[in-house]
Amino acid sequence: MPFSLHFSPTPLITAPSPLSKPFFLVPYYHTLHAPKSPLCSSMEHALTHQGKQEAFDRRPEDSQTLPLGLRRDAMPSHVAVIMDGNRRWARLRDLPVRSGYEAGVESLRKIVEICCKWGIKVLSVFAFSSDNWFRPKVEVEFLMSLFERAMQEDTGIFFRENIRISVIGDLTKLPKALQELMVNLEEATKNNTRFQLIVAVSYSGHYDVVQACQRLALKAKCGLIEPSDINVSLMEQELETNCTEFPHPDLLIRTSGEFRISNFMLWQLAYTELFFAQSLWPDFGEAEFLKALLAFQQRQRRYGV
């Protein structure tokens, strides 16, 4: 069956205004052990019985034809995206801000579909940053309700398309129902292998490094490791991107003409190739994504100066 990401038209991801820091998304279920609510249990049951068999009947990614000039052997394994410009997109059209968020979700769906077709293994998106908690309360509550509603309505597609969902960030700050929903979605899709979508919510690069250091300090205090044992490898095992086989993005894309990484995956982006697009996120589609991938494949990657 052809790939189809028909999520309901509710915004899952948002982007920052030009006057504030980026608006970004993803949690860390390994630190949570909340009991499953009836809602989450029903969701998992639906995932198991709705589309499990269909995942085995899909054509392999290798059968998909790539656009002219794009090489499968040079495809990035992990692409990260800072989805900036949703609010500006709406204001330029005299639309309410929520319309920009809805259009941004449509762009995300398109990019997820393209990643699956073209053989990209991991897509990380910055959806709600730690700094965004300082936004007006009504705006934050609106976004939390959008996240919850979208996930409730759209979980079946991830199992049907064999997509794994991982959420990174400080989940403890999210509404309890949303925490449980995200944790259960991660658990329900953890064995899916076609593609992994990592959503960063209540996340920042500073937070990720600090929480990793705290974990290592606790292990040292408990006598599990010596301070002298701490190295790059141990550090990376404690970062929240340990949820994926490809923790370091090969390519980072930021939309809306801004030239910052805005506290996103500071450790993981050490040797990542950067691409800055002028398009606002809701306008970022296949043509813009192809341009970024072609630019990536034309570069000679270096690790060092």
pLDDT confidence of residue 181: 93
84 labelled catalytic: yes
pLDDT confidence of residue 71: 96
For the chain, domains (ranges, CATH) are: 77-296 (3.40.1180.10)
What is the residue type of 301? Answer: R
Query: Could you say which of 62, 73, 84, 283 is catalytic?
Result: 84
User: How far lies 54's CA from each of 44, 50, 58, in Å?
Assistant: 16, 9, 7
What is the residue type of 181? Answer: L
Query: Which residues are paired to 78 by β-bridges?
Result: 122
Q: CA 195, 200, 203: angle at the middle one, nearest 5?
A: 155
Grade residue 305 by pLDDT with cuts at 50, 70 and 90: low
Summarize pLDDT for 25-70 with one digit per residue, the tens: 333 333 333 444 434 444 544 444 444 444 434 445 445 689 999 9
Determine the Cα–Cα distance for residues 32 and 193; give it in Å rounded to an integer. Answer: 23
Three-state SS at 203: strand
Determine the Cα–Cα distance for residues 232 and 268; give it in Å rounded to an integer. Answer: 11
**Token pair in block for residue 199:** 């959503």
Mean pLDDT taken over the chain: 83
Three-state SS at 224: coil
